[in-house]
Structure formats: C-alpha cells, structure tokens
Amino acid sequence: MAGGGPGGGQSRRRGVRLSALRSPPCALLLAGALAVCAFYYVGSGRETFSSATRRLRGGRAGASVPPGSPSAAPLVPEAKAKPADGLEGAVGAAGEELDYHVLMMFTKADRSPSLQAKGRIALSSMLRLAKLDSNEVLNVHLVSEEASKEVAKKLLRELLPGAACRCKVIFHDVGILTEKLFPVVEAMQKHFSAGSGTYYGDAIFFLSVAMHQIMPQEISRIIQLDLDLKYTANIRELFEEFDRFPPGAVIGLAREMQPVYRHTFWQFRRENPQSRVGDPPPEGLPGFNSGVMLLNLEAMRQSALYRRLLEPAALQRLTDKYHFRGHLGDQDFFTVAGMEHPELFHVLDCTWNRQLCTWWKDHGYRDVFDAYFRCEGHVRIFHGNCNTPIPED
C-alpha cells in the first residue's frame, strides 16, 4: 500500500489504546474502529490519491453499474503507452526486447518534500541495482496528476543516466484511471474503504484488483510497488518469483508483519477460537501487505474464481462470513480473499517486503507483536511504512 503503516505505508495518528479488545463493548469497538481509520488515512500517501480524484466523484457517484451486470460497459485498454519524451535510459544494445513492468503511485509530490524524498530513494535504489540483459527493458509506470508528473520528470532525468539497465518511463493520469476503475470496484467501497466521504476517490486504491482490465493485453505481468521502499537487490530477481507461483495463483504478496488483522478479524476469531485467521506466521494467517504486489495479469484474466470474487454478491458473502469491515483498499480485499481461497496467492518471503512500522506494538498488542514482526534473512526490499526511517547503506 502506498505510504506506510501495517496496511501499506501510511503515516498514522495516535489512537485509543486497544489492550481491552479481546471482548470489547460497543463503545470501545467504535473507538477502535476510529483509531484504525485515523491510523491508516490521516496524512497518508493513500489520502493524496483520494484528494486528486475527489473532483470527479460528483459526476460519477451512483451512475455506475456493478461489475458483472449485463449493462456494464467493458473497459477498453489504451493503446500501448510510449515512454515520455526524454525519459528513456539505455545500457547496452537493443535487440528483440523482453519487457519488465513496474508501477508506482506518484501524486501531489509538488506539495510534499517528504514524498519527493521517498521517490528519490525508491527510484535511485531500484535503477542503480536493476541489472538486466542487453535485450531486456525495465518499463516504469508512474500514476500521477500533471503537477506531480513534472516533478517526476525532473527527478528521472537526474536518475536515469545512472541506471544499470535500459529503462522506459510511462505516465498514467490518475483521474483517467479512476474513471476506468470505478465501475469495476464500486461494490468494494463499502467493505474496504473509509466511508462515503471518500467513496469515489478511493477507487484508485483498488488499481491492483482490476489491473488486468486496465493494462493492455500484451502486458501479462506487472509489479505494483509502494513509493516508501528501498531496494538492496536486483528487481529482476523479484520478477523470477512469478515462476514460483503455484498452479491457480494469480497474485504474489508478502504477509502483513503487524497484528492489524488480528484486530480487524476480532469478531470472527471470537466466534471461531480454533481458527488460524489473524494468527502470526508460520502457522497462522496474518493477512497480506500490499507494499509489493506481483500481478500475473494473464492469470487474473483467465481465472474464473478470481473474476467471481469481484462480483458484488460474492464480496457480500465473503465479508459477511468473516464479519469484515476494512479501510485499506486492495490490501483488505486480498487479505479476506486469501482467508477463503489461499490457492489464488503466492506468498512472498518477508525479505521482499520487510515492513518497518511498529505502531501496533504500542497499541494493545505488545505481547504478540514480535511473532508477526520477525523476519530472518537478507532484506531485499525495505518498506518504511508509517513514515518509519529506512536504514542507511
């Protein structure tokens, strides 16, 4: 998730203490829900995307048709995007190209020095270590509004000469993507968004869910990445994880490294005390973190099960079963879907998304925190969620 925190990188506001949540009264439940909402949304990177698309909400709210309806218009992919002028770096000779695709959100950067700093760390570390063969190309897709696009261009013109691979940069307008997404993910808003106040703008938080319908058919795999990351390994090695997907899997994610879903699934856990839902690894099901997402777009297009989960009735059954009400967009959807259908997911090693935020340690879960937060091995991607500093080289 863009930004930080246990749910994908947002900065968090201090909330009520949650130490009494094992069988909370209604008042405490409401306070806890408000604390989670504040933690994930106030001052977060995700909030910037809602703000960028809020102007579109009025004209579209209530006008769309749920996905799967006979009257829902199919999405038409744009023509294959070309790299932005002056934003193509080259190392070695170009032969028959083999394309790798990564995508990042980059909005409201003109007003946020901290976001610019995060973008510099993420892009510089990725490009410096992205060693590809001479016929391989790293395609960097950036989702921006016009002002942030200009900031990104300036930054990339500085960084691309130092890239270790041939690179192309493609920009996508956040408003256009939101318009395309809204009919597909509208039914998800009430289950996995903050509420009606950000209903339309939150559509962009579900880009990964419908990426297989948004991207051109010739793009079969893409990795969506948060901006608050730092790479210590060649991104090419992460693409090799696609080849480790088990049969039927469509998406690869690392586990959530805080007990956020232990909290969110509290009612289901109370009614099902023997369930592994929300428990820590390796035996438990702690949910997913969306800071690093491997999207096998072709598999998503072909999977009847995945397509069925996007239907409003299926979503309702799933969230009813688990008493689930989330605030984290795509991460919540993938988490609850993974509880019911783990076969759809390839679990990445924690070293590919080493989350650093410790917010929940001080908010009711100190006794179990380390069981979620533990990660052994050489870290290949650091995730500075909830604005946690990333270790220096």
32 domain residue, yes or no: yes
pLDDT at 96: 76
Contacts of 291 by beta carbon, 8 Å cutoff, 6+ apart: 1, 8, 9, 225, 226, 228, 229, 254, 353, 355, 383, 385
Q: For 29, how many CA atoms within 13 A lie in the half-sphere containing its CB?
A: 10
20 domain residue, yes or no: no
pLDDT at 84: 53
Higher pLDDT, 195 or 372: 372
For the chain, how many structural domains are there in total?
Answer: 1
Distance CA 290, CA 121 (A): 19
pLDDT at 186: 82
Distance CA 113, CA 119 (A): 10
Q: CA nearest 7: which of 281, 372, 260?
A: 260
Whether residue 1 contacts residue 330, with contact meaning beta carbons closer than 8 Å, is answered with: yes
Q: Where are the alpha helices (DSSP H) in 226-341?
A: 235-239, 260-264, 266-271, 297-302, 304-309, 312-321, 330-340
Span 348-360, pLDDT tens digits: 999 999 999 999 9
Whether residue 318 contacts residue 309, with contact meaning beta carbons closer than 8 Å, is answered with: yes
Tokens 């935020």 — which residue? 357
79 domain residue, yes or no: no
pLDDT at 327: 81
Beta bridge partners, 169, equal: 140
Higher pLDDT, 174 or 67: 174
CATH number at residue 171: 3.90.550.10
104 domain residue, yes or no: yes
Distance CA 198, CA 272 (A): 33
359 domain residue, yes or no: yes
pLDDT at 241: 98
Longest dimension (CA), the chain: 66
307 domain residue, yes or no: yes
278 domain residue, yes or no: yes
93 domain residue, yes or no: yes
pLDDT at 197: 43
- 63-70 contacts: CB < 8 A, separation 24 or more? 64/182, 64/183, 64/186, 65/183, 66/183, 66/186, 66/187, 66/311, 66/312, 67/183, 67/184, 67/185, 67/186, 67/187, 67/310, 67/311, 67/312, 68/310, 68/311, 68/312
Q: CA nearest 351: which of 223, 232, 251?
A: 232
What domain range includes position 383? 27-66+84-387
Asked if the model's pLDDT at residue 194 lies above 70, the reply is: no
pLDDT at 81: 47
pLDDT at 195: 59
Is the whole model's pTM more than 0.85, yes or no? Answer: no
Span 109-121, pLDDT tens digits: 999 999 999 999 9
